[in-house]
Amino acid sequence: MPEPAAARALPSDASAAGLTEAEAARRLADTGPNEVAAGKPVRLHSRVLAQLRDPLVMVLIGAVVLTLAIGDHPDAIVIALVVVVNTTVGVAQEIRADNAVAALSALSAPHARVRRGGAVRDLPASGIVPGDVLVLGEGDIVAADAELAEASALLLDESMLTGESAPVDKAAGAALGAGTVVVRGRGVATVTATGAAGALGRIAALLDDRHEPTPLQRRLASLGRVLAAVTLALCVLVLALGLVRGLPPGTMAVTAISLAVAAVPESLPAVVTLALALGARRMAARHALVRRLPAVETLGSVSVLATDKTGTLTEGRMAVEYVWTPRASAGFTGVGHEPTGEVLVAGRPAGEEELVPVRKLLTAAALCNDATLRPPDTTTPGGRWTALGDPMEAALLTAAARAGCPRPEELAATFPRTGEAPFDSLRKRMSTLHTTERGRVLVCLKGAPEAVLVPGVLDEPPDTVARARSRAASLAARGHRVLAVASGVRDDLPKPCTAAESGLELLGLVALSDPPKPHAARTLASCRAAGITPVLITGDHPATARAVADRVALLGEADEADGRVVTGADVAAGRVADLTTVRVFARTDPRQKLDIVEAWRARGAVTAMTGDGVNDGPALHRADIGVAMGARGTEVARQAADLVLTDDELSTVVTAVEEGRRVYDNIRRFLVYGAAGGAAEILVMLIGPLLGLPLPLRAGQILWINLLTHGLTGVAMGAEPASPGTMRRPPRPPDQHILGGGAWQRLLLLAAVVTTATLGAALAARTLGLPWQSVLFLALLAAQLGVVLGLRARPLTGKNPFLLLAVLASALLAVAALYVPFLSAVLETEPLGRAAIGIAAACAPVGFLAARLVRTAFRRTAPGGTAGASGLP
């Protein structure tokens, strides 16, 4: 027998007394706090400047300068107000999200038990220094990298560092990583590295503080540059034409600048920010916390979803899924550690006779067990059963409860434990001895199949043992953790306890795994229907990764990708020519996760990466959208992410993608509407003089129309609900222009219709001797309001009442411009009679019908005949 771990000598720093307080203080001054270097807090002025550097906002600032230059102070104030509101909302959302993440972090701030000066103290993990002696017990988080000096049945959950779902046994001399969790046993360890020098610090060093622009930001920046060029060209063109016609230079300068301002949809930043803010609010109500406002829209462009396994696709716990006995086999259903669930035989509820061998096996497994199940707290609504101890042992207790076995406390009273041989990594089995009511000794044993299905332990016919080995191998190949359970009765208490581990009856096999979440398969199917490619990246065993991928149908029927499982070693060695052809990766480390994400991005994909562990942090940061689990996620993961899921459900990502697509559709819809209106105004000013209308619109009239159409109604468009079929179309190509996919054509057609209707109304009014300029003013505004209603995905519904109210308010303000003396004088309009108002109002249904016809035409030409299939909202 090897020397017991507890007998090994401690390293020099790990003396019985531990460090003195003075020595600990000196080392803390030398090495700094035991914290991963946090990013520098973003100052308020930096946040504001980041908002103002947006190209469209810079165009608006230029528009403010131009309007001030022509003395149009009211319009300058309106445009400046748009800039202020846009900046305020964007900055407020960032601060709100950062505060929420900080609150989550405070809840998870770790402490550690440390031996100092001969006494055990509970200290914040940030105060741990190299050489400190950590005292570890069940439920403790290892506060820093350490070397294990003493261990007693120590089992660690290392999933946060490695992605491995199954806990790992640790013996004296083993290295412990910061952030791992003790699930069973106890130990004493000496700290070897803290802060940036530890495993967490090395992973955090892979993070990059820079944020690349999102697809929407890139598209809007491109649009901003185009608008700036168009604005300058219009100023020059209109001014030149006016001067050629002999109009006063001062008047034409004012008109040219006013028209240029009208060509810029100044409410676009407000529409974008409001749409993103409303989207972020809706996401928060549905358990998705947005940390950066532009990330809302980026979700709608996601084409690849790289997901981890443990806690995302799976429940993040061990569960008994199958039991095999020489007489019968059964499957188990249920969620969590709740005692409710079914035992199924051949797909139907098991009968009492069929349950007898299953209960016998699980009763022995419950006796040979050190875990504890805790019922929900009755004072907390919606509480769940929880477990303490080895996750596999807790799963055995849960299965025993579902099979109708006596409760653990009843078993302990009926069969009190009198001895045990604990599990260790050498024996790979555990046995317990119990006194029966007749005074005999009941032996219960469980362990790895290779340590139990051997002649020295079992007294069974060879064919029975061979059948058990074959079934164990089959279950292991399907990604299950397999335990063999045996029992026997002795007349006397054997000494030592291990002497009882022979001549036992094989009760059967238990297959455990981390079960997929109930909605995981449906969530991945929704992703594929939306044109999003799911990819599994885990640190777990390849067989386990493959089994989970098969159970959640990660590879769709039409998926032609490579179906093999590629390991991190394959990626590191360059044995995979194209990483984007693989859908399942196993045994990956943080660097290889980065390589996979980068490969997809190099291919032009917009990537979303989910994760909860420290090892996921760099990839979360590098992906276009990093999605962290809020409840069980680590601080590194939350800080690296753009989106934090407070419910840890992958289905919430699909909800967020739908919200992102809705936001992007509304932005495009506004751009089509606003740019069509602006183009119509330009065409009216250019074509009108050729038809005998010398100065179709005055500067004030242009700006008033712009304020009502782009302002009230434009901003209200940001609250439009999602279009039908939003999640049944592919994501937009990342390089597609924001007005691509047919939006330019629709914009020009609408501009042509509005221009024609407006000029037609003005010419008709002139023929009848009516005030044609005021008719043209009202007709242009009415036509644009008709367009905004016609562009809605659901035009005849009461959804988004804000838009209906905005249209009504804009119409009333348009009429007020004709009849309120002050406005009439400023805008140089005239009151109109019924005939003139009828001519102008007739342009509204023309604009509405044009918008509906354009939508229908593009829908018919789109692939599959579905709205939006061509990339249109």
Lowest mean pLDDT among 97-106, 661-670, 796-805: 97-106
Q: What is the mean pLDDT of residues 158-165?
A: 66
Per-residue pLDDT band at 230 (split at 50, 70, 90)? confident
Residues that are catalytic: 308
What is the rounded average pLDDT for all residues in the chain?
Answer: 81
Report d(CA 478, CA 120) in Å as an integer: 45
Domain boundaries 5-31+112-204, corresponding CATH code: 2.70.150.10
Question: Domain extents for the chain?
Answer: 5-31+112-204, 48-92+211-287+655-865, 299-314+518-648, 319-513
Report d(CA 849, CA 744) in Å as an integer: 19
Q: What is the mean pLDDT of residues 450-474?
A: 93
Looking at domain 48-92+211-287+655-865, its CATH superfamily turns out to be: Calcium-transporting ATPase, transmembrane domain (1.20.1110.10)
Q: Is the pLDDT of residue 2 over 60?
A: no
Please indicate whether residue 567 or residue 518 has the higher confidence score (pLDDT): 567
DSSP state of 458: B
Q: Is the pLDDT of residue 201 over 80?
A: no
Q: How many Cα neighbours within 13 Å face the side chain of 678?
A: 25
Q: Is the pLDDT of residue 263 over 70?
A: no
Please tell me the predicted confidence (pLDDT) of residue 472: 94
Between the ranges 196-205, 224-233, 374-383, 654-663, where is the mean pLDDT highest? 654-663
Q: What is the mean pLDDT of residues 203-217?
A: 58
Please tell me the predicted confidence (pLDDT) of residue 560: 52
Please tell me the predicted confidence (pLDDT) of residue 35: 74
| pLDDT tens-place string over residues 727-745 | 888 887 767 777 777 788 8
| pLDDT tens-place string over residues 579-604 | 999 999 998 887 888 889 999 989 88
Helices 391-402, 352-367: axis angle to 10 degrees equals: 150
Q: What is the mean pLDDT of residues 495-499?
A: 85
Report d(CA 485, CA 829) in Å as an integer: 93
Please tell me the predicted confidence (pLDDT) of residue 809: 92
Q: Is the pLDDT of residue 845 over 80?
A: yes
Please tell me the predicted confidence (pLDDT) of residue 10: 36
Please tell me the predicted confidence (pLDDT) of residue 7: 30
| pLDDT tens-place string over residues 679-703 | 898 888 888 888 988 778 876 788 7
Please indicate whether residue 177 or residue 771 has the higher confidence score (pLDDT): 771
Per-residue pLDDT band at 106 (split at 50, 70, 90)? very low
Please indicate whether residue 452 or residue 721 has the higher confidence score (pLDDT): 452
Q: Is the pLDDT of residue 402 over 70?
A: yes
pTM for the structure as a whole: 0.69
Per-residue pLDDT band at 422 (split at 50, 70, 90)? confident
Please tell me the predicted confidence (pLDDT) of residue 245: 75
Report d(CA 549, CA 563) in Å as an integer: 10
Q: Is the pLDDT of residue 239 over 60?
A: yes
Lowest mean pLDDT among 11-25, 237-251, 542-556: 11-25
Please tell me the predicted confidence (pLDDT) of residue 634: 66
Report d(CA 339, CA 375) in Å as an integer: 10
> What fold is seen in the domain 299-314+518-648?
Rossmann fold (3.40.50)
Q: Is the pLDDT of residue 262 over 80?
A: no
Q: Residues in the chain, how many? A: 873
Q: Is the pLDDT of residue 432 over 80?
A: yes
Q: Say if CB 452 and CB 445 are below 8 A apart.
A: yes
Q: What is the mean pLDDT of residues 819-848?
A: 91
Nearest to 759 by CA among 710, 817, 675, 693: 693
Domain boundaries 319-513, corresponding CATH code: 3.40.1110.10
The residues, ordered by sequence, that sit 6+ positions from 107 with a Cβ below 8 Å of its Cβ are none
Lowest mean pLDDT among 569-578, 705-714, 788-797, 860-869: 860-869
Please tell me the predicted confidence (pLDDT) of residue 56: 60
Per-residue pLDDT band at 872 (split at 50, 70, 90)? very low
Q: Say if CB 722 and CB 664 are below 8 A apart.
A: no
Q: Which long-range contacts (CB under 8 A, 24 or more apart) does 123-127 make?
A: 125/34, 126/33, 126/34, 126/35, 127/24, 127/28, 127/33, 127/34
Q: Is the pLDDT of residue 564 over 50?
A: yes
Q: Say if CB 354 and CB 327 are below 8 A apart.
A: no
Please tell me the predicted confidence (pLDDT) of residue 53: 72
Per-residue pLDDT band at 659 (split at 50, 70, 90)? confident
Respond yes or no on whether the N-terminal peptide bond of residue 496 is cis (omega within 30° of 0). yes
DSSP state of 712: I
Please tell me the predicted confidence (pLDDT) of residue 557: 61
Kindly give the residue spans of alpha helices, DSSP state H, lying in 688-800: 699-706, 714-717, 743-767, 772-790
The residues, ordered by sequence, that sit 6+ positions from 221 with a Cβ below 8 Å of its Cβ are 54, 55, 56, 213
